[in-house]
Amino acid sequence: MSPSPAPAEADGGPAPSGRFRRGRPARGGRRRRTGAPLPLLLPALVGVCFLLLPLLALLIRAPWRDLPDQLTSAQVWQALRLSLLSATAATAVSLVLGVPLAWLLARTEFPGRGLLRALVTLPLVLPPVVGGVALLLALGRNGVAGRWLDEWFGITLPFTTTGVVLAEAFVAMPFLVISVEGTLRAADPRYEEAAATLGASRFTAFRRVTLPLIAPGVLAGAVLAWARALGEFGATITFAGNFPGRTQTMPLAVYLALQNDPAAAIALSLVLLAVSIAVLAGLRDRWLTAS
Amino acid sequence: MIRTSRRARRRMLAGVGVAAVLVTAGACSSDSGGSDDASASGGGPAKPSGTVTVFAAASLQESFTALGKKFEKEYPGTKVTFNFGGSDSLAAGITEGAPADVFASASPKTMKTVTDAGDAAGTPSTFVRNRLEIAALPGNPDRIASLKDLTRPGLKVVLCAKTVPCGAAAQTALEASGLKLTPVSYEQDVKSALTKVELKEADAAIVYRTDVKAAGDKVEGVEFPESAEAVNDCPIVSLKHAGNTAGAKAFIALVKSAAGQKVMTTSGFLSP
């Protein structure tokens, strides 16, 4: 479980602040330069230690000498490849479905919009295992909808890579929707209105005006979703099972390795840690160039 | 608590007078701390009290839950809490310092992790043995009759991960029969393997006979002769860092007693 929230939380911090900075530049300028009072400084430092110590421990306890052997094993590469592949596919699914959904939530008025918004962001707070059980009951071979998929098309989703992608998209898409919706709300709708007065259809305005306008937000949301998908564990193991090369992603490999080969688990965790740091660094860079 | 010391006193008064006073004092003080119970148990088993924490293999869930209730009834004031899971993750938890009084594993190999780390108090003893069985869908629509049938193409079979005892046993059975079986998933413990069949997501799983029995009519058990090659001994041991040594000893005694064994065998376990 532990690997899944880590990247999301790490990314969750800079995401909104970056957005706000772009949206409301005044806020970034209001910076106080007074010395920190002790009652604030002390808990803050404890907080820093609490967040960084586990990561440091990972580095300290890492089997550096065996690391090359651990990381070049076929199973690690298989898991890493599958993780990158499925996280990217899940992000693509999230983009295709999530951006229109975010637009719908931000730009149109209809009864029950608030409720819909709450419902589609539910997977953000839902324990991933619950998500996995729900997916199984909906899309499993014997599931509410999955039964018909199986009967009509002979498609079964559990135990397949597609199942992994679906589990990851289920958990990651809300991150993208929230991020894009926020950007859309911050973007000035008058540009779209201007495009409309010039004769552009609503879809053309969205494609030619809105989308380029919110591109940085979409990108940030996509990276967030990708990182969340990469760390996804609970829904994946529940819905897609665990088979090396097909459904065993890195977090699953870490969890199972921990039971009989802790050194391998640490090595795998280091890889995920490195990827997470790379994502953060990449995100930072993008934002700097974008703003 | 009061009853504990009173009973101990009664027992001791039947014996020699002076020793009785001394040991009664010991028994009284033992109520507050578990470690004192161990020293008091020198004269006879100390009365268990407080909470007994038992880490037990997922396959033991039904039978141990029943035994826990029996234990609490037999020793009023006690409470048994269980942590059921894959033997391997339980063993890893114990060696990492998880607070447990008793460890019941599904295989000697996982027990060895704990004894090697020096966390066991005393030598583990086998209390039951467990055999594998194929769990098929109710009514056995795929007509699975042997281990070989599981290798049929198109059949979705779920195995336990090789790191957990049920997976290791399944591997041994498959190797003994010279069969190559590619499952759709290696599940993290025996219960999640069984669940996949109960939910009809998989057509069959190799699990323990006891799990098939516990699942009732949600799955259909198919015995296979190769399971004789992979009978798992289940060892139990009290743990060194246990907070409740007396409770641990009493619980293990109950598991190994005739009454305890009866509960185990009705669940489908074999006596050692």
Q: For the segment A125-184, what is each residue's pLDDT rounded down to a tens digit?
A: 898 889 999 999 999 988 899 999 988 998 889 999 999 999 999 999 999 999 999 999
If you search the block for the tokens 């594998």, which residue do you land on?
B132
Is A142's Cβ below 8 Å from some Cβ in B?
yes
Of B55, B134, B128, B61, whose CA–CA distance to B98 is shortest? Answer: B55
Q: b/e per residue, B133-172, with b = 16+ CB within 10 A?
A: bbbbbeebebebeebebbeeeebbbbbbbebbbbbbbbbb
pLDDT beyond 50 at B244? yes
Is A132's Cβ below 8 Å from some Cβ in B?
no
pLDDT in tens, B171-196: 999 998 999 999 999 998 888 899 99
pLDDT at position B242, please? 82
Query: Which chain A residues have a beta carbon less than 8 Å from that of B218?
Result: none
pLDDT at position A77, please? 86
Using an 8 Å Cβ cutoff, are A118 and A194 in contact?
no
Is A259's Cβ below 8 Å from some Cβ in B?
yes
Going from the C-alpha of B75 to that of each of A180, B11, B54, B121, B184, the distances in angstroms are: 60, 16, 16, 23, 46
pLDDT beyond 90 at A95? yes
3-state SS, one letter per residue, for B194-239 = HHHHHCCCCCEEEEEHHHHHHCHHHCEEECCHHHHHHCEEEEEEEE
pLDDT in tens, A235-282: 999 999 999 889 999 999 988 887 777 788 888 899 889 888 888 887
Q: What is the pTM of this model?
A: 0.74
CB contact under 8 A, A142 and B156: no
Helix (H, G, I), strand (E, B) or coil at B54: strand
pLDDT beyond 50 at A16? no
Of the candidate ranges A29-38, A212-221, B33-42, B187-196, the one whose mean pLDDT is the lowest = B33-42
Query: Which chain B residues have a beta carbon less than 8 Å from that of A244?
Result: 186
Beta bridge partners of B104: B56, B236
Query: Which chain A residues have a beta carbon less than 8 Å from that of B90?
Result: none
| Residues B121-149, mean pLDDT to the nearest whole number | 94
pLDDT at position B64, please? 95
| Residues B119-148, mean pLDDT to the nearest whole number | 93
CB contact under 8 A, A259 and B186: no
Query: Which chain B residues have a beta carbon less than 8 Å from that of A240?
Result: 185
Structure tokens at B154: 């198109």
Structure tokens at B236: 């139990």
Residue B243: exposure state from Cβ atoms within 10 A (0-12, 13-18, ≥19):
middle
Structure tokens at A249: 């992603």
Q: Name the residue of chain B whose CA is nearest to A156's CA.
A: B201
pLDDT beyond 90 at B44? no
d(CA A124, CA A106): 18
B interface residues, A as partner, C-beta within 8 Å: 86, 88-89, 92, 156, 158, 161, 163-164, 183-188, 196, 199-202
| Residues B231-258, mean pLDDT to the nearest whole number | 92
Q: b/e per residue, A150-185, with b = 16+ CB within 10 A?
A: beeeeebbbbbbbbbbbbbbbbbbbbbbbbbbbbbe
The 8-class DSSP code of residue B151 comes to G
CB contact under 8 A, B163 and A247: no
pLDDT at position A31, please? 54
Q: How many other C-beta atoms lie within 10 A of the C-beta of residue B118?
A: 9
d(CA A124, CA A170): 9
